[in-house]
Copies of this chain bind each other. A is one copy, B any other.
């Protein structure tokens, strides 16, 4: 029998715990059938496959800091609810097709209901966080609320920056622009806050939590770049989104920014012409043209290198700054997880 990778095992267990916690928290029964239908829609994204990476990070850091994993479970689950409402709204905003292997919520139920389902889960996220007051006491509960507020401010700003680029047809972007957007849109909620909160629940100081800002930034951007790479080269079955969907959507990725800065002017104009077309107006041939140029200029490899470099930075920083933490299952798993972020194929 092949040995089970301990990180795989932990991620699987975490998924089960988090999913159970969320499904127990979400409402089920209602006398009106319309409301029962809303409840079903609220369970749709939470029931889909997914890595539950953010809760896993939060739980591991809590345990690595000597905290009790059970105390962080509710907050970790709220990170997953955050992901659910963000994805529902993002999928509408980006006109995405597939999410976690199934049609996006707005394609199943229409944009109006999908917006409202996102709002419903957003409200439930805060309600879940408020319940921390009973289990963790007022002070930590408020500290966590304040962390979530900070995080939400970052996410909506990052999302707005990206939407601005789309709406203004902006393509003259630098890697620094990408970095700013990606830190705000992805790194905060994927890594920085999950680490910070895990540490705080375990009783760490704010100074400890602050040390995760750089680590989480590097790891979060590494995660996003790997996501963009998988979007171009992944298998649809594992990845769960449409392959090269980012080209269809006209998304500004590091791969694309590298391509535009490396190719000839004629090629750049051609790429922009294709990228600026609406999803429906892009032919398969045009999408393949862009992919071919990305190959020609080794833009995907470049992005993979950057992703590796950033994850390596995160690993070095974590190892150095938290050398004083005793060796533990959680500390080892978190180190493994840093590598998983860039090695994953889904």
Contact = CB atoms under 8 A, between A and B. Distances in A.
A126 B148 CA distance: 10
A262 B180 CA distance: 61
Interface string A149-181: 100110011011101111100000000000010
Contacts of A159: 116
Contacts of A325: none
A111 interface: yes
A161 B32 contact: yes
Interface in A100-137: 109-113, 115-117, 119-120, 122-123, 126-127, 130, 133
A92 interface: yes
A141 to B, nearest CB: 8
Contact of A138 (B35, B122, B142): B142
Interface in A196-223: none
A184 to B, nearest CB: 9
A160 B35 contact: yes
Nearest to A120: B156
A161 B115 contact: no
Nearest to A85: B119
A308 to B, nearest CB: 28
A34 B159 CA distance: 10
> How many chain copies?
2
Nearest to A116: B159
Contacts of A116: 89, 93, 156, 159-160, 163
A156 B123 contact: yes
A207 B134 CA distance: 22
B120 A34 contact: no
A92 B120 contact: no
A142 B130 contact: yes
A127 B113 contact: no
A102 to B, nearest CB: 20
Between A30, A94, A110, A156, the greatest number of chain B beta carbons within 10 A of the residue's beta carbon is seen for A156
A37 interface: yes
A38 B37 CA distance: 34
A77 to B, nearest CB: 16
Contacts of A111: 92-93, 111
Interface string A6-50: 000000000000000000000100101011011000000000000
A112 B163 contact: yes
Nearest to A89: B115
A181 to B, nearest CB: 9
Interface of A: 27, 30, 32, 34-35, 37-38, 89, 92-94, 109-113, 115-117, 119-120, 122-123, 126-127, 130, 133, 138-139, 141-142, 145-146, 149, 152-153, 156-157, 159-161, 163-167, 180
16 contacts: A32-B161, A32-B180, A38-B157, A89-B115, A89-B116, A89-B119, A113-B160, A113-B163, A113-B164, A116-B159, A123-B153, A126-B126, A126-B149, A138-B139, A138-B142, A141-B142
Given A94-B112, A123-B149, 8 more contacts: A32-B161, A34-B164, A34-B165, A92-B111, A92-B112, A116-B160, A127-B149, A130-B142
Closest 9 CB pairs of A and B: A93-B112, A123-B152, A138-B138, A120-B156, A38-B160, A127-B149, A34-B164, A34-B161, A130-B145
